[in-house]
């Protein structure tokens, strides 16, 4: 995972963060409305979500997931061997998609 350069301020603007995430992780900015199901999650303050990103580039994902996460994704794919992963949650569970809020 790429880290900020040593002299980079941690007080970055939202635009700087967006640019960094998009350039570094091949992320795509998505509408907050794509995460509507989180509105019902008691641990999420949905109205405070500022921006959302999706990452689906296989090489980027391979570098982001740790070994335990990779094993969970493999187990999910093995358990759903004949499935086509079409929904975001299926893709997330299969390790084909990562969303960052």
pLDDT in tens, 20-71: 999 999 999 999 999 998 999 999 999 999 999 999 999 999 999 999 999 9
Dihedral Cα 54, 57, 60, 62, nearest 10 deg: 110
> What domain range includes position 65?
14-100
Strand ranges (E), the chain:
28-30, 52-55, 98-100
Q: Is residue 73 a part of any domain in this protein?
A: yes
Q: Is residue 4 a part of any domain in this protein?
A: no
> Number of folded domains in the chain?
1
pLDDT classification of 10: cutoffs 50, 70, 90: low
Q: Is residue 69 a part of any domain in this protein?
A: yes
- The reported pTM is 0.80
């Amino acid at each position: 995972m790429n880290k900020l350069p040593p002299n980079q301020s941690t007080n970055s603007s939202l635009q700087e963060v967006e640019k960094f995430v998009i350039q570094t992780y091949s992320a795509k900015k998505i509408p907050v409305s794509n995460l509507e199901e989180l509105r019902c999650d008691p641990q999420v303050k949905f109205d405070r979500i500022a921006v959302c990103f999706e990452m689906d580039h296989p090489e980027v994902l391979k570098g982001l997931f740790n070994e335990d996460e990779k094993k969970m994704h493999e187990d999910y794919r093995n358990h759903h061997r004949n499935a086509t992963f079409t929904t975001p949650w299926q893709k997330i569970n299969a390790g084909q998609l990562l969303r960052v809020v």
